[in-house]
Amino acid sequence: MRVVALVPGGIGDQILLFPTLDDLNRYYPTAQIDVVTEPRSKAAYRVSKSVHEVLTFDFKDRNSLADWGNLVGSIRDREYDIAISFGQSWLVGLMLWLTGIPQRIGFEGKGANFLTNTVPFNSSQYVAAAFHDLLKPLGIKTPCPELAVNVPKPDIEWSQYEQKRLGANDTGYVLIYGGADPIPRGKSTEKIYPVDKWQPIIQEFHSKQPDLPIVVIQGADDEAFVRSLRESCPEIKVTSPDNIGKLTAMIAGANLMLSTESAPLQLSVAVQTYTIGLIGSADPAQLLPNSEKFLAIQSPTGKVADISPATVSAKIWGG
């Protein structure tokens, strides 16, 4: 059996899909599972246990008919038996119908007329569980499993050397991600927690736990943020993993993860690191599973920057 999943969205969205792909692989262990995702999100599948091949297509671009035609041709050539669409788009539904794939599964709504099976999207539940509902037409009706990842051994070894370099291999460390994933076109920067808010949180850590290193993650788009943070808090340490496997391994080694709404937040859940998520306008119940290990602080205004440092500290120290 050959299955293709069409998954628009960022890396965090892909991580939330992993339990669905893993369960599909568990129930159909001989199936080949491929994914079509946006170029910016392909990197997520470095830590996937269940995906065979990743195809790229920029669903949000102004694609021509020729672009859509090329995608139809690529999918048709692979002769898939099942297609699962994780977005709600009539263009994607039409495209899947044109591929001739016998079973086409997706959510009710736009493009549903082109599908053979639809399920309602429950917007009030954890997103990973909502994605998992798309397996019901295949007879898979068990609860959604936890997020899980498979980190390549070289990435784990890199993390071990990195922790030694940072002087954190014996003491453990607190990991901070304060930036944001690459901002999609048309979106604002409301998910970024500013440097002046991080400063008192970090200073309190050093006051209460002076031997516990504070390590900040610097991604490709975070250089200015991290530079500014180091100017105000020179005692922090910085790690710059160059792929998602190394990033995941660093998160797995942390005592605590503090993160804005981002891919690192979902990776922290996947590796079961104690996590505090700073959430803007999104519903925390959709982003984080119900667990004492994963705590959310939601902005009173919908902007992450409006969360007070005192609120974050109270969540950290149990005040």
Domains located in the chain, CATH noted: 2-138 (3.40.50.2000), 153-317 (3.40.50.2000)
The whole-number pLDDT of residue 301 equals 92
Segments in the chain below pLDDT 50: 183-188
Q: Which of 219, 180, 217 is nearest to 305 (CA)?
A: 180
Q: Which of 107, 110, 115, 114 is nearest to 132 (CA)?
A: 107
Dist. CA 142–CA 234, nearest whole Å: 49
The whole-number pLDDT of residue 34 equals 97
Query: 129 is written with which tokens?
Result: 């569980």
The whole-number pLDDT of residue 184 equals 45
Residue-wise pLDDT tens digits, 40-55: 999 999 999 999 999 9
pTM above 0.85, yes or no: yes
